[in-house]
Structure 1
Amino acid sequence: MITSTFRHLPGVGAAFEERLWRGGCLTWQDAAARGDIPCRKHEAGTFATGIADSHARLAAGDAAWFGQRLGAADQWRLFAAFRHQTAYVDIETTGLGWPESHITTIALWDGFQLRTYRHGDNLEAFADDIRDYKLLVTFNGRGFDAPFIEQTFRQKLDMAHLDLRWVLKPLGYSGGLKRVEQAFGLDRGGLAGVDGYTAVMLWHHWKNSGDDRALETLLAYNAEDVLTLEPLAVHAYNAHLAGLPALPEHPLPQCLRAENPFRASAEVLRRVGVRAA
C-alpha cells in the first residue's frame, strides 16, 4: 500500500489522492512516468521530487520518514511494508501520571517472540531492544504508552507509530481495547474483567505478598494486550484497503492471536476483587 500512497507528499490531501487513483495514477511508478504533477500552484515542481524521495526512503527502510508525514489515521498504510520490523507494545503502570507513577511491566511482541520487562529487574533493557524496530503498534499509545516510555527512559521513540485506536475509529470501532476485541469476537478467557486498575492492584499484591502468581497474572494481562494487536492491525489494514478504489494491492492473510505463555490465577484475581467471568 505504501507505494500507492501520495498523502505524505506536500499539498496532497485525500481528495487529490483519490483523483490521482481514479485517473489511473495508482502507484509511484505511474506518477514518475507522468512527470511532474503540480499539487497547488505554489508547490508546482515538488511532486516529482517527492516521488523520487519516497522511492529512496522506502529502499532505505525509513519508516519514520513516512510516519512523520502521514496523519495518525493513515499510519495503517505502512503496515504491510514494515510488518516484519514491527513491535507491538503495551505498558502497565502504578498510575496515570509520570513521575508520580512508574512503569511496572512492558510487553513487546514482534510477531515471532514475546518479551516482557519488569520494574526492578530488566526494565532498562527495553530501551535498547525497541531500537531494533521500525514500526511501533499500540492501542492508545500515542496518548499514554509512548509519552510514558519516553519520559521514563528519556529516549525518543522516533519510529513510525500505528496507534490502532485512531486507525480503527474511522472504521466504526470506538472505545477501549477490550470493547474493540469484543466486536471482533476475541475472548480473554480467565482475564475477562481484568483492567488497568486491576493491574495496579496485582503489582502491589505481588510486592506486598511475594506471591509469584500475582506477578504472572499481571504478565498474562500485559501480554494479552499486545498479542491481540497483530490480528487487529491486519484487520484494520484489510478493511481500509477494501474501502479504497481498486489498487494493485492485496489484502493480508488474517492471523490468529498467538498463545499467551503466562497463566492468570483465578484465586489471586479473587483476592484483588475480580469476579470470575
Structure 2
Amino acid sequence: MRIENSFIPVRGVGETTERRLWEHGITHWDDFDGNVVGDTLADRIEDFIADGRQHLDRGNLTPFAEALPASSRWRLYENVREETCFLDIETTGLDASCNDVTTVSLHRGGETKTFVKDRDLTSDRLASELESASLLVTFNGQRFDVPFLETCYDVDVTTPHVDLMYPCKKVGLDGGLKAIEQDLGIEREMPDISGRDAVRLWHEYERGDERALETLIEYNRADTKNMEPLMDRVATRLHEEVFESVQRTA
C-alpha cells in the first residue's frame, strides 16, 4: 500500500470514511470523486491531494507522518523502501538522563553500519545518517531509542518515523522484538542475549575485553537487520487486511 492510496491524513476522514471511498472504487488519489462525500470534505480531500503530490515530488514524507496515527505510518514504507533506515541502539540502562548510548546500528540498502561510543559515535555522524534517510524504522524507538539519542547526543530526530511496535500490535503481534521474530519464523544467527546482557558486555569491554564488544555489536546489528523482514511482513499483512480486503468485497 502506498501513500497515494490513503485518505485518512485528511482532517475529517477517519478509517470508516476512507473505507467507504475505497468501496466506491476510489482506491487512489487519481480516482477521487467528490460526489461520494460532502462538499466541504471533498474540498479538503482535493486540497490534500494537490499538496500531497507536491510533497511526494520533493520526497517530503513529514506532513504524512505527522497526520497519520502511529499504527498507520506503515503506509509510508512502500514509497521509500530503498531509502528507509532501520535503527537500534544499546545503552547502559533505561534512563537517558543518567545512562549512555553504547552502540548504534543503522541498516539501509542492504548495508549495516555500527557506531561505538568513544570511537565513531558522534552527534554529527548520527545527524548525517538520519538526514540522508527518507524514513526511520525502529522497534519501540518512539519511547526509547529516539529520546535517548536526542538526550545523549543532542540530535534533533526529524526524519519521518515508523515505530514497528504499533503496526505489530495492529496485527496481533505483542511482546518484544525477539518474541515477534519467533512468532513469524524470522531467524537470527546471534545467541539469545538480553538487554541486561548488552549492559554486561559493555562493562566487560570497558575492562579490556574486546571480544565482549564484538558480541555486543553483533547483537545490536542482528536486532537492526531483522527489523527489515519484520517491516516487510507486517506491511504486507496490513496491506491485505486494510486495503485488499475492501477491494475483494467491493
Residue 93, structure 1, aligned to residue 94, structure 2: no
Structure with greater proportional helix content: 2
- Return closer, same or farther for 1:191/1:45 CA change in 2, 3 Å cut-off: same
Q: Return closer, same or farther for 1:110/1:51 CA change in 2, 3 Å cut-off.
A: same
Q: How does 1:39-54 map to 2 (within 5 A)?
A: 45-54=43-52
Structure 1 residues 19 and 67 mapped into 2: Cα distance closer, same or farther (>3 Å)? same
> Partner residue of 1:206?
205
Partner of 2:158: 158
- Give 1:1-277 correspondences, 5 Å limit: 1-31=2-32, 34-35=33-34, 38=37, 45-124=43-122, 125-192=125-192, 194-208=193-207, 210-246=208-244
Aligned partners of 2:112 and 2:189: how far apart in 1?
Answer: 19
* One-letter identity of the residue aligned with 2:240: A
CA distance in 2, matches of 1:61, 1:70: 17
For residue 85 of structure 1, report the CA deviation from its aligned partner: 1.1
TM-superposed CA distance for 1:38, in Å, is: 4.9
Q: Which one-letter code corresponds to 2:95 in the other structure? A: G
Residue identity matched to 1:211: D
Measured in 2, the distance between the counterparts of 1:168 and 1:40 equals: 36
The structural deviation recorded for 1:134 is 1.4
Partner of 2:43: helix, strand, or coil?
Answer: coil
Q: What is the TM-score normalised by the length of structure 1?
A: 0.83
- Higher relative contact order structure (alpha carbons within 8 Å, sequence separation ≥ 6): 2
Structure 1 residue 39 displacement after superposition: 5.9
Q: Please say if residues 36 and 47 of structure 1, whose CA atoms lie closer than 8 Å, have aligned partners that are also in contact.
A: no
SS at match of 2:113: strand
State the identity as a percent: 35
Counterpart in the other structure of 1:259: none
Give the secondary-structure state (helix, strand or coil) at the position aligned to 2:114. Answer: strand
What is the rounded CA distance, in whole Å, between the counterparts of 1:137 and 1:38 in structure 2? 34
Between stretches 182-191 and 114-123, larger displacement belongs to 182-191
Query: Quick one: distance in 2 between partners of 1:118 and 1:211?
Result: 15
Task: Show the counterpart of 1:256.
Answer: none
1:235 maps to amino acid: R
Q: Deviations over 1:15-52 (max 9, x none)?
A: 00000000111100111xx35865685x5632211111
SS in 1 for 2:146: helix
Q: Specify the code of the residue in structure 2 equivalent to 1:52.
A: A
1:243-275: per-residue Cα shift (whole Å, max 9, x none)? 13449x9xxxxxxxxxxxxxxxxxxxxxxxxxx
User: Does the C-alpha gap of structure 1 residues 206 and 21 become closer, same or farther in structure 2, counting only changes over 3 Å?
Assistant: same
User: Aligned equivalents of 1:81 and 1:25: distance in 2?
Assistant: 19
- 1:66-102 C-alpha deviation (Å, 9 max, x unpaired): 1111111001101110111111000000110122001
CA distance in 2, matches of 1:44, 1:238: 29
Aligned letter for 1:152? C
TM-score normalised according to structure 2 size: 0.92
Q: Contact between 1:127 and 1:153, CA under 8 Å: does it hold in 2?
A: no
AA in 2 matched with 1:5:
S
Q: CA deviation at 1:161?
A: 0.8
User: Aligned AA for 1:228?
Assistant: N
Q: Secondary structure at the match of 1:55?
A: helix
Q: Tell me the SS of whatever aligns to 2:119.
A: coil
